[in-house]
Amino acid sequence: MTEKPTVLFVCVHNAGRSQMAAGWLRHLAGDTVEVRSAGSEPTDRINPAAVEAMAEVGIDITDQTPTRLTWDTAEASDVIVTMGCGDACPVFPGKRYEDWTLADPAGQPLDLVREIRDDIRTRVVDLLAGLRRAR
């Protein structure tokens, strides 16, 4: 792993789970980790409920845009975390993978999106601790 690890969060639409995870990691890691997110079938905008849930904890993800997952992005990442994209998320040999089973916040009430947000935070904290131990 490089001095500054690169983490890629991937979900189908790159509008909810992966954006919240990226927001948490940027917030918690500062500039010690390069953070990316992408989707196998990105939508045109971030889920407004995800934006609202993250804003409640002081994290602004409104400047992010759903992005299509590319081979180059995955290849340039040290850790790839997938969230519910199943076979749509390709496997890249030699990469560290984590697959997080999380509910999709799309179309869900804000209370459920908050639960997903908090679950993601716990997982990001654990991921960051592992990255710091690996250095």
Q: Which tops the pLDDT comparison, 23 or 90? A: 23
Q: Would you call 11 a catalytic residue per the annotation?
A: yes
Domain membership of residue 1 (yes or no) is no
Domain membership of residue 30 (yes or no) is yes
Q: Would you call 18 a catalytic residue per the annotation?
A: no
Residue for token pair 């340039």: 76
How far, in Å, CA of 77 to CA of 118, rounded? Answer: 25
Q: Residue 23's domain spans which residues? A: 10-128
Q: How many domains does the chain have?
A: 1
How far, in Å, CA of 88 to CA of 96, rounded? Answer: 18
What confidence tens digit (pLDDT) does each residue in 62-110 have? 999 999 999 899 889 999 999 977 666 667 777 888 999 999 999 999 9
Q: What is the pLDDT of residue 92?
A: 73
Write down the catalytic residue from 8, 11, 38, 128: 11
Q: Would you call 89 a catalytic residue per the annotation?
A: yes
6 DSSP β-pair partners:
34
Domain membership of residue 89 (yes or no) is yes
CATH number, domain with residue 112: 3.40.50.2300
Kindly report the number of other CB atoms within 10 A of residue 93's CB atom.
Answer: 5
20 neighbors 120 (Cβ within 8 angstroms): yes
Q: What percent of the chain has pLDDT over 90?
A: 80
Domain membership of residue 2 (yes or no) is no
Over the chain, what is the mean pLDDT? 92
Domain membership of residue 3 (yes or no) is no
Q: What is the pLDDT of residue 135?
A: 72
* pLDDT at residue 2 greater than cutoff 60: no
Domain membership of residue 133 (yes or no) is no
Write down the catalytic residue from 89, 116, 120, 124: 89
User: Which amino acid is residue 79, in one-letter code?
Assistant: V
Domain membership of residue 68 (yes or no) is yes
Write down the catalytic residue from 15, 35, 59, 85: 85
What are the structure tokens assigned to 72, written together?
């180059």
